[in-house]
Amino acid sequence: MSDEYIVENRSGASWQLPAIIVLGLVSVAGLAFAWNASSKLDATQQSVATQVNAMKQGVEQDMTSLKDRVVQDEKTNADLQGDLKVVTDKLKITQGQLKKARAEAVAAVQDTTTKLTALDTSVHTELATKAATDDLKNVDTKVGGVRTDLDTTREDLKMARSEMGTLIARNHDEIDQLRRLGERDYVEFTIAGKNKPQKVGNLTVELKGVNEKRSQFSVAMTAEDRKIEKKNRNMNEPIFFYLSGTKIPEEIVINKLSKDTVSGYVSIPKANGQQQTSNSNSSSGS
């Protein structure tokens, strides 16, 4: 009986040792896995904490910036309200001044209208008592005639007259005034340079010399194959010449001069043209 008992004990000890070893290995593996998991968990916690801190800092910065913008907007709004109040106050003052000025203008217009009405009534009353309507018309006619005569005399006094009684024009405007009289034809010209014959109306005019200091000039004129030379003539001094078959002289006037340049006009009586026409007709009839 003791031998059987010993055999049973040996068989039980043979399977217990491997089991213990396996359990030990499993425990060691579990510990290693737990340690690895714990390390990963710590790393994850640190990463999450870092991200949370970064997000927190970003949110705090955004909140600070938002607060600054809110403060700036409130300040700007306050400034705008102040400016609006100032503009509104000025506008009220301007509107008041405008109303006052408009009222003063209306009063002035009314006062002027009243004075004009009274003056018109007074004038009509005085005219009615001094003269009848026909007398006033006669007076107006006489006054108009006197005014016309005065205007004509005034225009004549502005221009000098030659020994032949012709008016002497000193510029283009006065030549136009003479044209409107309708008694003569006027041909204006400018000659630049000496010894350069130039056709002017029914004449050929050639400048010979200019003395600016004395306002004198010398010219040669050719008409109907006849050449006439005039030396040291004064500016605005007319030069008269007759064409065959005419009784009224033509005239040439130099009214502007400078170095080697003169300007002026030739005055041709319209009666000369009629006389020449009649003379040519009588010659052809004979």
pLDDT digits (tens, 9 = 90+) for 220-278: 988 888 888 999 999 989 998 888 888 888 899 999 999 889 999 999 988 765 555 45
What residues have CB less than 8 Å from 246, skipping those under 6 apart? 269, 271, 272, 275, 276
Q: What is the DSSP string of 130-183?
A: H--HHHHHHHHHHHHHHHHHHHHHHHHHHSEE-TTS-EE--SHHHHHHHHHHTS
Owner of token pair 């049973």: 8
The yes-or-no verdict on residue 136 having pLDDT over 90 is no
Cα–Cα distance, 200 to 42 (Å, whole number): 122
Cα–Cα distance, 240 to 237 (Å, whole number): 10
- Residue 37 is predicted with a pLDDT of 73
CB atoms within 10 A of CB 268: 20
Read off the pLDDT of residues 20-76 as tens digits, 9 standing for 90 and up: 887 778 777 777 777 877 777 778 878 877 887 888 787 778 788 878 887 887 888
Read off the pLDDT of residues 172-230 as tens digits, 9 standing for 90 and up: 999 898 888 888 899 999 999 999 999 998 889 999 999 999 999 999 988 888 888 99
Give me the count of residues in the chain. Answer: 286
Query: What does the domain layout of the chain look like in residue ranges?
Result: 161-270
pLDDT band at 153; cut points 50, 70, 90: very low
- Residue 6 is predicted with a pLDDT of 47
- Residue 218 is predicted with a pLDDT of 92
Choice between 112 and 45, residue whose per-residue pLDDT is larger: 45
Read off the pLDDT of residues 83-101 as tens digits, 9 standing for 90 and up: 777 767 766 656 776 677 6
Q: In the CATH hierarchy, which fold is given to the domain comprising 161-270?
A: Tick-borne Encephalitis virus Glycoprotein; domain 1 (2.60.98)
The yes-or-no verdict on residue 145 having pLDDT over 60 is no
The yes-or-no verdict on residue 156 having pLDDT over 70 is no
Cα dihedral 263, 269, 270, 274 sign: negative
Kindly report the backbone phi and psi dihedral angles of residue 256, in degrees, each rounded to the nearest multiple of 5, phi listed first: -155, 135
- Residue 188 is predicted with a pLDDT of 93
- Residue 44 is predicted with a pLDDT of 80
CB 211 within 8 A of CB 194: no
pLDDT band at 137; cut points 50, 70, 90: low
Cα–Cα distance, 186 to 264 (Å, whole number): 10
Both tokens of residue 259?
């170095």
- Residue 186 is predicted with a pLDDT of 93
CB 192 within 8 A of CB 206: no
- Residue 2 is predicted with a pLDDT of 46
